Amino acid sequence: MGTDKRDRQKANKQAKLEAERAAAAKAKRNRSIRSFAILAVIIVIAMVIISLTSCSSDSDGAKVSTDGTTDQGVSPADGDAYGTGDCPPEDGVDEPAIDFEDAFQQCIDLDTTYTATIETTEGTAVAELDPSAGAPITVNNFVSLARSGYFDDTAIFRTEAGSGIIQAGSPHTQTNTDPGPGYAIPDEGIPWSADDYGPGTLAMANSGPDSGGGQFFFLANEGGR
């Protein structure tokens, strides 16, 4: 009898420890999302503003790289890989556009690093967009959509503590079923590794190969875990 009681006490203690570990891990994931994503209760993206990063002495405030290759060893995208859509004004538009006939032609300077300032009801997040980091078409697409007002007044419709995903960019439906801007862009820089998806990473969401469009997400956890 004494042995059975001790076994039960030992099992109960082990179960309690496991529960405490699980609770601590969950709390850590939640803190990661709160600290990076501003809060899991974010409701609306008020506006996305694209501006040049002031990191050099150039008069236009642009950060100009010294070579045209990327950290992944990938050269800037070939001009044929872009679309034929007109470039929006650099200072934005008066009326947002959310439907397009084709992807944008090259509208950015591939030697310039841009920043996306995402203003929300709970605060502001700033992301660096570097065309030389392996995805120039993706950066061109994000900058052009932002300048077109595509992301204005859209909701952050998905937040997951487990995966660390904070997803947005769906002006038609405010969900992951949004049809997108009317075109898709090709995947770039393949293969990416889990190390490339650390906390703070901004990436395009898709439904399969070469299906990126307007939806994007931030990651708050290591490798999307």
Q: Where are the domains of the chain?
A: 2-224
Residue 208 scores a pLDDT above 50: yes
Q: Which tens digits make up the pLDDT trace of 44-87?
A: 445 555 554 433 333 332 222 222 223 333 344 555 689 999 99
Q: What is the pTM of this model?
A: 0.69
Q: Which tens digits make up the pLDDT trace of 146-165?
A: 999 999 999 999 988 888 89
Q: What pLDDT, on the 0 to 100 scale, is given for residue 108?
A: 96
CA–CA distance, 11 with 7 (Å, rounded to integer): 6
Residue 224 scores a pLDDT above 60: no
CA–CA distance, 210 with 188 (Å, rounded to integer): 9
- Grade residue 40 by pLDDT with cuts at 50, 70 and 90: very low
Q: Which tens digits make up the pLDDT trace of 7-30?
A: 777 777 777 777 777 666 655 555
Q: Which tens digits make up the pLDDT trace of 88-115?
A: 999 999 999 999 999 999 999 999 999 9
Q: What pLDDT, on the 0 to 100 scale, is given for residue 36?
A: 42
Residue 192 scores a pLDDT above 60: yes
Look-up of token digits 């007002």:
149
Closest alpha carbon to 154 in 165, 166, 167, 168: 168
Decide which of 2.40.37.10, 2.40.100.10, 1.10.760.10, 3.40.50.720 is the CATH code for 2-224.
2.40.100.10
Helix (H, G, I), strand (E, B) or coil at 46: strand
Of the two residues 168 and 13, the one the predictor is more confident about is 168
Of the two residues 202 and 8, the one the predictor is more confident about is 202
CA–CA distance, 121 with 138 (Å, rounded to integer): 26
Helix (H, G, I), strand (E, B) or coil at 79: helix
Q: What pLDDT, on the 0 to 100 scale, is given for residue 44?
A: 47
Q: What is the CA radius of gyration of the chain?
A: 21
Q: What pLDDT, on the 0 to 100 scale, is given for residue 1?
A: 53
Q: What pLDDT, on the 0 to 100 scale, is given for residue 95?
A: 95
Q: What pLDDT, on the 0 to 100 scale, is given for residue 140?
A: 96
Region 112-134: mean pLDDT is 90
Q: What pLDDT, on the 0 to 100 scale, is given for residue 220?
A: 82
